[in-house]
Structure 1
Amino acid sequence: MADLLGLHDHKPWGTVIVQPGRIFMASTKPTNPWLILLGLALGVSVSNAFGRFAYGLILPSMKSSLGWSLTQSGWLNTANSIGYIMGSILTLLLIRHFSPSRLFAGGTVATALCLLLTGFDESLVFQTACRTLVGLFGALSFVSGGVLAASLFQSCARRNALAIALYFGGGGGLGIALCGATLPAMLDVFGPQSWDWAWIGIGLAALAICPFSIWASTSLSETKHDAALPSLPPVRRMFGQLGGYALFGMGYIVYVTFISVWMKEQHSSVLLTTATWMALGFSIMASPFVWRGILARFASGTPMALILTGVAFGSALPILVPNGYGLIMSAFVFGLSVFMPPTAVTSFVRQNVDQQDWGATISFFTVVFAISQALGPIGAGVIGDITGEIGDSLIVASAVLLVGALCAVTQKPLKLGLA
């Protein structure tokens, strides 16, 4: 999801964004930091909400109109995840030579253009290319925007932590709520064959956001300082947290990709689909405030284990309680947890690893997450095609997430004296 610093610290630590071989420190004091944060967060609406989550809303119409199997449907979000892997690595390389402001602006605009292009050709090859590029440029925007968000409120650690948390969940949650409020009704009125216009509409909305997000990014500038090369991350001592994060990537993406397909198979109403996705978006926006205390309290894998248990429960609820109440509850539970594992990772790293190694360690976690995330959608599609029920894939994903929680709960603090 992102290569950011954590959610909370016990003492003021300033704003230092660590990347392998570099440290970025903000060199400006913006006059409207909350407005700038809003612009950056809207960039997350483009890169994550529009770029990744909206596909789950449009997929039932695409699958119906184009005659795709569940495996083909899952493949396109796997392609998006492959693009995210490429984009994460590319960002780590480019950020040594270009300012995060330029990378964020370029990534956001490119993501918006690729979303727009998705509506112009129905072939699987073209759709694969678009989904891959959306993932690549979305990662460029998301990671760079995180660096910029972390440069806000330098003199107040609590506000700085809140800014990072709101960047994670605020923009993504708002974008998901907006998609949920508009796309189901539009596709119901104009029919599933209008899926191409849904993408064109999303692309135009993303392009409309771009000027504000670009202004926000260019309102901040950074200076580069050489830093000592980091040592190798203590991977062997972090297997619990690493395993939990990897299985999170594999499991959560199944719900995001296929919940609307399952709802269509259950003949859910447009109103219920809209309410479910809006509940998902608003609960994601609230999630930083729910988890910040737990993340601050523990230096072990306990926060990750609790979060993954929430994601697992939310994934299984539609199958366990197959009615409207179960769907709405699943959206709330899933949304309150799904954006928090990256923050749990960064909080764990900041409390257990020396500062000069933060960047390398979090980058390692990010790559492992991105790889495992790519396996989830196509794997779920294959299971659904074999069993004939995509609901079976949601149950399997829930089990994968619970195994991830068990892995995480075994993780002990790396430093003595930490709870």
Structure 2
Amino acid sequence: MEPINEMRWARIVLVTLAGVVSHTFGRSTMPLLLPAIAEDLELNATTAGATGSVNMAAYLCGVIAVTYLANRVAPAVLLKCGLWIVSAGLLCLGTAPTTSQVMVGTALAGLGGAGIWLTMPVIATSDVPVAKRGTVMGSLTATMAVGSIIIPFATSALRDLVDDVGAWREVWLLELVASGAILVVLYVALRKDISPPLPRGAGIKAITRLQAWKTAVFFYMAFAFVAASWFQFFGLSLESDHNMSRGFTTNLWALMGIGGVVGAVVFGRLSDRLGRPRTMCLVTAIGAATCLLVLAGQMWTAALAATLYGMAGMAVPPLTAAFVRDQVAEQDFTAVFGAMTIFYGPASVLGPISGGVLADITGSYLLTYLVLAITFVFASVAAWHLGQSEKQDVIH
């Protein structure tokens, strides 16, 4: 095993660029642009929420496909295929004249994102000591968060350039160009990757290999419900319920990205010391607080919510992946994490659409964010119980 100071960090960082395409471009940009899209295409809250549900439903389909193909196709090949599919989705979004094409584009982005996210941890943590995997997994999210810092500023600059505060298609096309560059870089970085297809997994039953797997699944489903919705309605809530300007809300996404960089690294390292479950409990408790900060309706509370959610919310996926990776062999990771992500899918589909329906019924996003806060609390309690199960296993 290579010492940590001799690990190929440059290659790891290059691989994490794929996460920028799948999560920053393919998922996080939609909520950023959604107020402008909703205004341009005259979307109600339910339809706006449906864009997130469609993305996550397609992601679930991708998870099922990747889990099936994991023992037949090399991880690097699946990752590259995911990049191509997300790029096709960005092209579709960047040229969309109708709501239907927006839905198709976000579906392609979700579908391709599964191929990236389920294989990226395997490639990035290959030959990495267990004690350093939290740090490496944190770097995955940190890289994506850097992208989240750049995109809001690029969006504002582009809107100033075209003199249109409601411009959104041009942003997708700009991301398409960046995706093409990242695709070329990754082809070079992985040109010598000859990793074989992973051994045949056990399908959805693979999840039973985890300790306290039912609690782990509940935690991930609760987080999925919240994560898919919190992002989706953040800008809409601040603009519609609290009359904040689009320029201000757009720049808040940069604060979220900064928080993501800090949180991914800090909580990744913290999890190497405290353990994954304890850290997962902490970040979801912080997440619950951010929902209340959004509802406070002040500019400073909105900025604080964005920063803290970036730190906490963006840390959960890599922490969960590290939690799974600690317990299973490298060749079993994709099957087990894929099975866990299959449970993630339905909750992430339900979250945005239900949040949109609640907003349309009540006329505001108050009840939506209260439900998200309660769900975050449930996730935190579940993570605490995971930690207790871990202690019992050590005792026995």
* TM-score tier (shorter): 0.7 to 0.9
Q: Which runs of 5+ in 1 are unaligned?
A: 1-11, 16-30
Q: TM-score w.r.t. structure 2 length?
A: 0.87
The code of the aligned residue for 2:252 comes to: T
What is the rounded CA distance, in whole Å, between the counterparts of 1:221 and 1:314 in structure 2?
A: 43
* 1:186 correspondence with 2:186: no
* Percentage of identical aligned residues: 20
Q: 1:51: how far off?
A: 0.5
DSSP 3-state at the match of 1:59: helix
8 A contact 1:275–1:328 mirrored in 2? no
Q: Which runs of 5+ in 2 are unaligned?
A: none
Q: Identify if the C-alpha distance between structure 1 residues 77 and 350 changes in structure 2 by more than 3 Å, giving closer, same or farther.
A: closer
Q: Identify if the C-alpha distance between structure 1 residues 216 and 132 changes in structure 2 by more than 3 Å, giving closer, same or farther.
A: same
The alignment covers a number of residue pairs equal to 389
The residue that corresponds to 2:288 in the other structure is: 312
Q: 1:375: how far off?
A: 0.9
The residue that corresponds to 2:357 in the other structure is: 382
* 1:416 correspondence with 2:388: no
Match of 2:13 among 22, 38, 51: 38
The C-alpha deviation readout for 1:233-281, integer Å capped at 9, x for no partner, is: 0689433332121111001221211111122223324553344111111
* 1:100 correspondence with 2:75: yes
Match of 2:278 among 298, 302, 307: 302
8 A contact 2:289–2:373 mirrored in 1? yes
Q: Identify if the C-alpha distance between structure 1 residues 100 and 417 changes in structure 2 by more than 3 Å, giving closer, same or farther.
A: closer
The residue that corresponds to 1:280 in the other structure is: 256
What is the rounded CA distance, in whole Å, between the counterparts of 1:227 and 1:197 in structure 2?
A: 43
DSSP 3-state at the match of 1:389: coil
8 A contact 2:122–2:334 mirrored in 1? no
* 1:290 correspondence with 2:266: yes
8 A contact 1:184–1:273 mirrored in 2? no
DSSP 3-state at the match of 2:244: coil
Q: 1:379: how far off?
A: 0.8
8 A contact 1:43–1:171 mirrored in 2? no
What is the rounded CA distance, in whole Å, between the counterparts of 1:375 and 1:248 in structure 2?
A: 12
8 A contact 2:32–2:235 mirrored in 1? yes
The code of the aligned residue for 1:278 comes to: A
Q: How does 1:3-18 map to 2 (within 5 A)?
A: none
The residue that corresponds to 1:6 in the other structure is: none
The residue that corresponds to 1:254 in the other structure is: 229
DSSP 3-state at the match of 1:105: helix
DSSP 3-state at the match of 1:121: coil
The residue that corresponds to 1:173 in the other structure is: 145
The C-alpha deviation readout for 1:178-208, integer Å capped at 9, x for no partner, is: 1111214434663355322222222222223
RMSD between superposed Cα atoms in Å:
3.0
8 A contact 1:116–1:204 mirrored in 2? no
Q: Identify if the C-alpha distance between structure 1 residues 386 and 76 changes in structure 2 by more than 3 Å, giving closer, same or farther.
A: same
* 1:70 correspondence with 2:45: yes
Moved more, 237-246 or 218-227: 218-227
The code of the aligned residue for 2:394 comes to: G
Q: Which has the higher helix share?
A: 2
Match of 1:207 among 174, 180, 183: 180
Q: TM-score w.r.t. structure 1 length?
A: 0.83
